Amino acid sequence: MNMPAAQALDGLVSALFVPAGNRKLLISARDKGIKMVFIDLEDAIPPDMKLSACQGLAEDVTLLRPAVHKIAVRINRPWRMLMRDMEAAVAAGVDIVVVPKVEAAADIQMVSEILDEIAPGNGPIVLSIIESAKGLLAMPEIASSRPDRHAGIMLGPEDLALDLGAESSQDVMSNYAQALITAARSAGIKAIGSPGSVAEISDMETYRAQIDVGRRIGFDLVVAIHPRQLETIHEVFTPSSESVEKARRIVATDAESGGRPFLLDGKMIDAPIVARAKALLKLTSEQS
């Protein structure tokens, strides 16, 4: 069961990163009807432009707000920059604060305590990004921190690969992705990302295969870095009409059987399969 903060992301399967201050891309994201946008104050912004990007955040949020369901802001580290960005994010009225380079549960606890002070009540929820070996080892504790604020844990494959001295390819990242999903599930929060690089924007067959593996191993949501990736994400995460119809038959037959196991299309159907069918139908309803 999703914890309180994670429930705010129910039904969402995609988001798009957009650099802060890039009016053209922000308007494009708004006009495309993208449900969740990550305004990026971190990697997409050169060091000498970070202050001005932060100062312009309220304008960015105002630009998106009429059409975007959830507005997230990826803030900077270290702590002095984090504080400045968080205060700007709260003042701008964002829905989600995305914290990079999380390596300990104390990071989420501290961010949440700051939000408790500057945005009491129904202030922004928090997403954490795992981008280092230390973060990997602490994922279970990170995931279970502050479920009233902490909504999801996200894989940062490029920085993680750099820290590990590895590649960000699917075969390398899959084990770390599965560990992240396990941590998220154990804490009742969202697992965000895919088991591989986020940088593929030309070979969409390769990207589709990676996103499909991610969906099958349990990722809830994928953040794109290019609009071209969104179409693929939606196609992979949208249940087929055949699977929806089968789910309906499973749920209907379960009701007729009074919750007892039953045979359908040559397969034995029991409680976990019924639960998955109900979850699929709920997701379909939420996405429509």
The 10s digit of each residue's pLDDT in 7-41 is 999 999 999 999 999 999 999 999 999 999 999 99
60 neighbors 92 (Cβ within 8 angstroms)? yes
CA 51, CA 28: separation in Å to the nearest integer? 24
Instruction: Check whether residue 122 and residue 251 sit in a common domain.
Output: no
Q: What angle, 0 to 180 degrees and rounded to 10, lies between the N-to-C axes of helices 170-187 and 157-164? A: 110
Domain span at residue 264? Answer: 241-287
For residue 240, is pLDDT > 90? no
CA 47, CA 51: separation in Å to the nearest integer? 8
Instruction: Check whether residue 141 and residue 278 sit in a common domain.
Output: no
Under DSSP, the state recorded for 128 is: E
For residue 143, is pLDDT > 90? yes
Instruction: Check whether residue 226 and residue 277 sit in a common domain.
Output: no
Share of the chain above pLDDT 90, in %: 82
In a domain, 257, yes or no: yes
80 neighbors 91 (Cβ within 8 angstroms)? no
Instruction: Check whether residue 193 and residue 279 sit in a common domain.
Output: no
Instruction: Check whether residue 190 and residue 278 sit in a common domain.
Output: no
CA 286, CA 159: separation in Å to the nearest integer? 33
For residue 42, is pLDDT > 60? yes
The two structure tokens encoding residue 134 = 């230390």
Span 84-116, pLDDT tens digits: 999 999 999 999 999 999 999 999 999 999 999
Q: How many independent structural domains does the chain possess?
A: 2
Per-residue confidence band for 243, with pLDDT thresholds at 50, 70 and 90: confident
Instruction: Check whether residue 261 and residue 230 sit in a common domain.
Output: no
Instruction: Check whether residue 245 and residue 152 sit in a common domain.
Output: no
Per-residue confidence band for 1, with pLDDT thresholds at 50, 70 and 90: low
In a domain, 1, yes or no: no
Instruction: Check whether residue 115 and residue 250 sit in a common domain.
Output: no
Instruction: Check whether residue 96 and residue 27 sit in a common domain.
Output: yes
Instruction: Check whether residue 214 and residue 133 sit in a common domain.
Output: yes
In a domain, 61, yes or no: yes
The 3 state secondary structure assigned to 34-74 is CCEEEEECCCCCCHHHHHHHHHCHHHHHHHHCCCCCEEEEE
Q: Please state the φ and ψ torsions of residue 131, each to the nearest 5 degrees.
A: -135, 15
Instruction: Check whether residue 154 and residue 263 sit in a common domain.
Output: no
What is residue 242's predicted lDDT score, i.e. its pLDDT?
A: 86
Instruction: Check whether residue 252 and residue 224 sit in a common domain.
Output: no
For residue 196, is pLDDT > 80? yes
What is residue 120's predicted lDDT score, i.e. its pLDDT?
A: 87
Span 169-194, pLDDT tens digits: 999 999 999 999 999 999 999 999 99
Burial group, residue 252, by CB count within 10 angstroms (0-12, 13-18, 19+): exposed
Q: How far is CA 244 from the centre of its chain?
A: 24
Q: How far is CA 240 from the centre of its chain?
A: 22
